[in-house]
Chains A and B, each alone.
Chain A
């Protein structure tokens, strides 16, 4: 079991997993979001290579209406 922070909230995950699997787990379409992993922007092309580990901090964002 690992503990991570996603968008400011604590989450427990069964095991380490890559960002592609993480997005799938939360049912988020990966082409519509951007991810910051421990304050580093993750290029979309590397989602499969970046592993989420214990204590990691993720920001997952998308576009919403705004002025």
Chain B
């Protein structure tokens, strides 16, 4: 039974996208990504350290031919910086599929939505396929879809907070109205919360810190892999209705 996830015309079997930051070293990054089963990994674009050439690079551990690299704009606080970063990313990697995030505040890392919308318009005009980090606001999510973003990625909670999904109603409304994939991006802290995102009907989940800052990141990566699959299956199965009172599981007929 195949249940693939399609974004920007590409099919993926895994519904878990993982970040590659905050790991102890590249070896741990590689093992955690493998255990997660992810086929898409997010990466950041940064200056090369001219002073120490020959340092190991991420691409030496994660093969861009094996994984789809999704360059992000983490750390960008203006739309112009984000666009500039992704133009460089496209030249470095040769991919049009990108993750746009324009941050509005250092403390919360909440997205600046007006800047995000403007940057998305520019990028789409230039031929980028934009997966967009956004607020859990159905109105803004619709705006982003209407201008042509290929995936809508509302935050579950602040980036790196591990608080879990704070606004499940908002996420569910975004899922119901969207005609493009919806991913919970940021805020998931543990496996049950990843499953919850999938049970809300999200197409996939994107996370970094929940895996990288677990005591055993590789085992947590495996847990997230299972949780996303379990949540997806639960969603597709259609859960039983909630009832106020008990309903015995064993038949009453034939009681001694």
Contact = CB atoms under 8 A, between A and B. Distances in A.
Interface of A: 6-9, 11, 26-28, 32-36, 41-44, 59-67
Q: Taking chain A's interface residues, is the majority helix, strand, or loop, or is none over half, making it mixed?
A: strand
A32 B21 contact: no
Contacts of B23: 65
Interface of B: 19-23, 26, 29, 42-48, 50, 53-54, 57-59, 69, 71-72, 74, 84, 87-93, 159-160, 186, 207-209
B88 A34 contact: yes
A28 B92 CA distance: 13
Residue of B74, B91, B160, B207 with most chain A CB atoms under a 10 A cut-off? B91
A62 B93 CA distance: 9
Contact of B53 (A8, A28, A44, A59): A28
B208 A67 contact: yes
Contacts, number: 102
Contacts of B29: 65
Given A26-B53, A34-B88, A36-B88, A63 B47 contact: no
Contacts of A64: 21, 43-46, 57-58
B92 A32 contact: yes
10 contacts: A28-B48, A33-B92, A44-B91, A60-B47, A62-B46, A63-B89, A65-B21, A67-B160, A67-B207, A67-B208
B183 to A, nearest CB: 13
Contacts of B45: 34, 61-64
Given A32-B92, A63-B43, 4 more contacts: A33-B92, A62-B45, A66-B43, A67-B19
